[in-house]
Amino acid sequence: MKTRNVIAFAGMAVLLLVLLVLNLCIGSTSVPVGEVWHALFGSSADATASNVVLQLRLPRALAAVVLGGALALSGYLLQTFFHNPIAGPFILGVSSGAKLTVALAMVIAMSRALPMSSAAMVAAAFVGAMLSMGLVLLLSTVVHRMSVLIIGGVMIGYLCSALTEFIITFAADEEIVRLHTWSVGSFSGIRMSDVLVMTVVVALSFVGVLMLSKPMSAFRMGETYASSVGVNVKVFRVLLVLLSSVLAATVTAFAGPVSFVGVAVPHLVRSLLDSSEPRRVIPGCFLGGASFCLLCDLLARTMFAPTELSISTVTAVFGAPVVLWILVKNQKGRERA
């Protein structure tokens, strides 16, 4: 038990480190590891390489780490909330809701030539995430079958995406390129100041999630048992929704909607740890989500360089099969029962 955890966490940490280095080295101009080291610690002689690493690749890689971890956590919280392993911010339309309000805010800000601070983007995304989440929760009071609720979430997602497309289509020409890249999901164009904002928000949320690990552990046995051992279920559920929405909103504000990470990573991490104990799964999800997004972003920008793929294209290729695997496994479990 214990050794398995140590090996799993050490493995995930090493993987994260290796992927981080690869993300800094590989690209249109490849930078050797030694040069990356010099650039990071300010002793580089090669100004171009140093610029590429510090201005472009480092913020992008750090964003993939922070946002990837945030997405996986957001998914894990939603899975806890709904007692369902395929719930996630993208599937339930939370990401698309955030996308819609961010697009609206961006268009309004641009048309009035106002600067859009990254904090304002997060705030706009949070409003949208909460709106979609509210719709899903409203739906869940009427619809009790989880599969139907998830289809409901997918529909809310489509609706929000359609409205976003509508806004983008009628936005002024010069805004379209930027909006379009963002609305399909991408880690490109993220600045170091953005990284700072997202790190603060995600770090605070991460602490919040850790504080919930105790009730989350009891909640695994269902609401009746959780409340019977002293969990205030109402407050707990509100906190789950708020934290998962903040996390999903932060991701969407900076990188647009990113698919499947929230569903696939928590599942892979639980299987790897062979445990659903939140004290282990929460940090595991963060590490796993970070590595998953680093890998996907590396592939997105290098596979068909100079053309970049949207991040969701790559995450879907790896994530969707995991979701199918979960569905098949659950079906088998049900047939056995």
Residue from 218, 243, 290, 311 that binds another protein (CB under 8 A)?
218
Task: State the nearest-atom distance from the C-beta of 213 to another protein, in Å.
Answer: 6
Options 6-14, 96-104, 164-172, 268-276: segment touching another protein (CB under 8 A): 268-276
What contacts 24+ positions apart, CB below 8 Å, involve 44-51? none
Nearer to another protein among residue 119 and residue 203 (C-beta): 203
Is 274 one of the binding residues for another protein (CB under 8 A)? yes
Residue with tokens 């409340």: 227
Residue from 123, 277, 299, 308 that binds another protein (CB under 8 A)?
277
Task: State the nearest-atom distance from the C-beta of 149 to another protein, in Å.
Answer: 17
Is 224 one of the binding residues for another protein (CB under 8 A)? yes
Residue from 28, 30, 147, 228 that binds another protein (CB under 8 A)?
228
Options 122-130, 159-167, 222-230, 238-246: segment touching another protein (CB under 8 A): 222-230
Is 85 one of the binding residues for another protein (CB under 8 A)? yes
Using left for φ > 0, alpha for ψ between -120 and 50, and beta otherwise, residue 256 falls in left
Size of the site for another protein (CB under 8 A): 29
Q: At what angle do helices 118-142 and 146-169 cross, to 10 degrees?
A: 140
In a 13 Å sphere around the CA of 17, the CA atoms on its Cβ side amount to 6
Is 214 one of the binding residues for another protein (CB under 8 A)? yes
Task: State the nearest-atom distance from the C-beta of 288 to another protein, in Å.
Answer: 15
Spatial distance between the Cα atoms of 186 and 300, rounded to a whole number of angstroms: 9
Nearer to another protein among residue 32 and residue 222 (C-beta): 222
- Closest by Cα among 208, 210, 212, 196 to 122: 196
Is 146 one of the binding residues for another protein (CB under 8 A)? no
Task: State the nearest-atom distance from the C-beta of 7 to another protein, in Å.
Answer: 17
Nearer to another protein among residue 100 and residue 269 (C-beta): 269
Nearer to another protein among residue 24 and residue 269 (C-beta): 269
Measured CA to CA in angstroms, residue 309 lies from 28, 261, 304 at distances of 15, 16, 8
Q: Is 86 helix (H, G, I), strand (E, B) or coil?
A: coil
Nearer to another protein among residue 138 and residue 211 (C-beta): 211
Options 110-118, 132-140, 275-283, 316-324: segment touching another protein (CB under 8 A): 275-283
Nearer to another protein among residue 80 and residue 101 (C-beta): 80
Is 83 one of the binding residues for another protein (CB under 8 A)? yes
Residue from 41, 42, 177, 230 that binds another protein (CB under 8 A)?
230
Residue with tokens 């899903």: 136
Nearer to another protein among residue 97 and residue 215 (C-beta): 215
Is 213 one of the binding residues for another protein (CB under 8 A)? yes
Residue from 115, 207, 229, 306 that binds another protein (CB under 8 A)?
229
Q: Which residues bind another protein (CB under 8 A)?
A: 83, 85, 210-211, 213-214, 217-218, 220-222, 224-225, 227-232, 270-271, 273-277, 279, 333, 337
